Chains A and B, each alone.
Chain A
């Protein structure tokens, strides 16, 4: 899993500036302070999502290993309607 610093570096490369608004009211570019706050918010979100995904994958791997130890497969569980 990527570190928060790595995620931040990628985001900053992809979004060197960040703006808000629309064609109708005009666009406003975030100040350096607002930019850093926004990037930090994005990093926290991406990191949390990655952590969650990693936990789910680990759970699947653990469950699969237990099934294999019992000589069962996912198809066996499906056959049981589980």
Chain B
């Protein structure tokens, strides 16, 4: 099989990052949201050192927005058949999916909107699957606070994450 070189399209890669055994991704994704695009697609593939929630927070000029402000919810179908909902109200982060222990083949596709272009209330949507019983999840939310989010940070509540994350700008 041979891949044909793609012509330039409406999806532009901004950064492709790898990280290994980190508590969080630090400044890796600072400055990725600009006035160039209205929406951003973020593809995360990774795992955690312990069965944990993947957490996402907005960043502004290198500062993590950790004040209570994140509203949203998640629906999960575990491969065991159990269904579950999770709602977060005025939380300090988004919770797109629960990562099982170990492995880097879990996948989460996230969309960020209302970011990188003046003071707005950043929005977020995601869908993902795990390579263990945790299952599939869809999640989404918005922040109550307004600011110019120019990036984001990934973390877990305990232990570390390992993986890759690619950020794309979607042509307006």
Contact = CB atoms under 8 A, between A and B. Distances in A.
Nearest to A39: B158
Interface string A16-48: 001111111101101000000010011001100
A21 B21 CA distance: 9
Determine chain B's interface SS by DSSP, over half rule.
Answer: loop
Interface string B32-70: 000000000000000001000000000000000000000
A21 B162 CA distance: 11
Given A15-B159, A42-B157, A30 B23 contact: yes
A46 B26 contact: no
Contact of B22 (A14, A22, A42, A46): A22
A11 interface: yes
9 contacts: A15-B159, A20-B22, A20-B25, A22-B18, A22-B19, A23-B19, A24-B15, A24-B18, A25-B17
Interface of B: 15, 17-28, 49, 157-160
Contacts of A25: 17, 26-28
Contact of A20 (B18, B26, B157): B26
A79 to B, nearest CB: 19
B160 A15 contact: yes
Nearest to A7: B158
B27 A42 contact: no
Contact of A22 (B17, B23, B160): B17
A22 B25 contact: yes
Contact of A21 (B15, B26, B49, B158): B26
Contacts of A28: 26
B23 A18 contact: yes
A34 to B, nearest CB: 9
A27 B162 CA distance: 13
Contacts of A22: 17-19, 22, 25-26, 28
B54 to A, nearest CB: 14
A41 B21 CA distance: 17
